[in-house]
Structure 1
Amino acid sequence: MTDVLLGIDQNVDRAVTQAETMLDLFDATDLDANLLHDFVDNPEGASVKQVDSVKRARDILEDAGAAVTLREGSGDPAQSILDMAEQLDVDLICIAGRKRSPAGKALFGSVSQSVILNAERPVLTCGSPGDEA
């Protein structure tokens, strides 16, 4: 069984790309996909089951026969991804990169960059065609 952690943000197109990439790389019937959405700020108490991007990725993976578990975190998204990957001892982390200018990265940071630099396991970065900052 291949255990993967997909860090899913709010963007449905990026989540679809992540799910489809997992199906391109792995046999769905041998895939255990953990879909993590981090609520940086969640005053209304939303659930990961309510996030459209997570629901879309889950549907794609489950329809193909993959085992899917929904997970949620709070606080710093990069740290949530790293902590969950460590806790679950996954084989691979899959994140969705966003196109940002160098100034945008400096001002706002980069979840992808932080995960790539600090992960102790392979990280696959996916982007969606025409993705904008």
Structure 2
Amino acid sequence: MYHVLLAVDEDESRSTRIAEAVADLPSASTEVFVSIFHCFVDNPAGASATQVGSVRTVQNLLEEAGIDNQVLEASGDPADAILEAADEEQVDAIYLGGRKRSPAGKALFGSVTQSVILSAERPVTVAGKTRTAE
């Protein structure tokens, strides 16, 4: 079984795109298990990850594709939390969303994405926002 950590923030479009990338993996419905991961930077209300809209959207998309999954959560620095969860869950790969950058910033990823890419001891896949019809 190929185990993926899918890091989800609050952006629905970015989260959907990365979930679609996982769902497009060969034999995803029979050979892939996904740990949907959300890190709260600030959570004074004590919400759970399953209350975050993008997490629910990703979970529904994966379930419709027949992909087994679980939801994990943490609080603190997102990059550190993603890497820690990847180690604890012993995942095969990390999937996370990228952001559209300005022309000057295209050479750099966002700070969380860049930190994960540079520090991960496993493959990292980055996907952008959902394509829109033109």
Q: Please indicate, yes or no, whether the TM-score normalized by the shorter chain is above 0.5.
A: yes
Q: Deviations over 1:24-45 (max 9, x none)?
A: 1232221110000000010000
SS in 1 for 2:101: coil
User: Partner of 2:129: helix, strand, or coil?
Assistant: coil
Flag the structure with higher helix content.
Answer: 1
Give the match for residue 80 of structure 2.
79
> How many corresponding residue pairs?
128
Q: Quote the residue 2:30 is aligned against.
A: 29
* Residue 98 (structure 1) shift: 1.0
Give, in whole Å, the separation in 2 of the partners of 1:129 and 1:62. 19
Distance 1:57 1:82 in 2: 20
Find the counterpart in structure 2 of residue 42 from structure 1. 43
The equivalent of 2:3 in structure 1 is 3
Structure 1 letter corresponding to 2:17: T
Q: Find the residue that maps to 2:72 and give its secondary structure.
A: strand
**CA root-mean-square deviation:** 1.9
Q: Which residue of 1 aligns with 2:60?
A: 59
Deviation at 1:100, TM superposition (A): 3.3
- SS of the aligned residue for 1:100 comes to coil
- Kindly state the Cα deviation for residue 129 of structure 1 after the two structures are TM-superposed: 4.6
Paired amino acid for 1:76 = D
Contact conserved, 2:6 with 2:34, CA < 8 A, in 1? Answer: yes
Question: Which structure 1 residue ranges, 5 or more long, are not aligned?
Answer: none
Question: SS in structure 2 opposite 1:69?
Answer: strand
In structure 1, the partner of 2:120 is 119
Task: Quote the residue 1:91 is aligned against.
Answer: 92
Output the CA distance in 1 between the equivalents of 2:120 and 2:25.
20
Matched AA of 1:72: E
Output the TM-score relative to the length of structure 1. Answer: 0.89
Partner of 2:15: 15
Inter-partner Cα distance in structure 1 for 2:56 and 2:26: 20
- In the TM superposition, residue 48 of structure 1 has moved relative to its aligned partner by 0.5
Kindly state the Cα deviation for residue 23 of structure 1 after the two structures are TM-superposed.
1.2
Identity value in percent:
46
